[in-house]
Structure 1
Amino acid sequence: MRQLMKAGLVAMMFAMPAAWAQSTSAAGTWRTIDDETGKAKSLVRITEDNGVLTGKIEKLFRPADQDQNPKCTACEGARKDQPLIGMTILSGLKKDGNEYTGGEILDPAKGKTYKSKATLKDNGSKLEVRGYIGAPMFGRSQTWVREQ
């Protein structure tokens, strides 16, 4: 019995750093909250590859009488008239101290791409995402909530 308890404690010690690392990474699924209305807009899955974050829309929260997977009619180039679900809207963010910087974010409603940065808050349960032109002071922020 004592051996079993020791094995359990050792297993917990190895599992705890993995759980801690997951909560300090921006990788995961996030509920985006509109900074103007305060309502949930979508679910975005953020993945990390070689230290670079990418976010794709997985689900939209829209009234039942609206198209549940509209196209990005305001977008230009390769994104023009492409479905929003599956679209990459966040790219190029790299960890820089306590935040992620150097990325871009797409506002599908306007079809515009902005510089972006993101900061984990509340022990990794929230992500403050900022899109801006030029300098971060010239932009808007949204707080996204991690999905459990």
Structure 2
Amino acid sequence: MKNWLLSISFGLLSCFYSNAQDIFGKWETYNRHTGEVRSIVEVFQKNGKVYGKVLRIMDKEDRDNLCTECEGDDKNQKIEGLVLMKNYEKDGEEYVDGTITNPNDGKVYRSKIWLDENDPNILNVRGYIGFFYKTMEWERMTE
């Protein structure tokens, strides 16, 4: 009986711990100069790949802005509601081989994302141009 109870307890704890450690959910992006929240992005999985969609732009004046510089299906779409992160695949603790669109200029960058090893409430989002890269830190949204 003790072993059975211990197994269930360990199983529940493992589920809780692994759910707390995943990348899925809502993340706040910040203006690196002011520290203000710029937007809320939801990271989700669809057909085995990972995506990120702009759920809310915090500045009311910018909510109707279009991605005029984007190409393809994203051209002239509202930025609020735009899937700007596409096609990431899990590779160990990272999600790689994805792309991220900068909706301000329409440029698409190779990208990878991963949880900060010291704080699972920080999502590292890295975009690449050749060998150069920029990493942003997004904070898990608490509801």
Query: CA, structure 1 residues 25+33, in 2 after alignment: closer, same or farther (shift >3 Å)?
Result: same
Secondary structure of 1:129's partner? strand
What is the TM-score normalised by the length of structure 2?
Answer: 0.83
Does structure 1 conserve the Cα–Cα contact (< 8 Å) formed by 2:86 and 2:100? yes
User: How many residues end up aligned between the 2 structures?
Assistant: 138
The aligned residue for residue 12 of structure 2 is 15
Q: Which ranges of structure 1 fall in alignment gaps of 5 or more residues?
A: 1-5
The aligned residue for residue 43 of structure 1 is 40
Q: Distance in 1 between matches of 2:70 and 2:47?
A: 28
- The answer as to 2:125 corresponding to 1:129 is yes
Deviations 1:7-58 (A, max 9, x none): 8x87654432222121221111111123454332111111123542100010
Secondary structure of 1:124's partner? coil
The aligned residue for residue 3 of structure 1 is none
CA RMSD of aligned residues (A): 2.2
120-129 vs 53-62, greater mean Cα deviation? 120-129
Amino acid at match of 2:42: R
Deviations 1:79-129 (A, max 9, x none): 111111221010111222222111100100111110001120134210010
Secondary structure of 2:81's partner? coil
Amino acid at match of 2:134: R
Structure number, greater radius of gyration: 1
Q: Which ranges of structure 2 fall in alignment gaps of 5 or more residues?
A: none
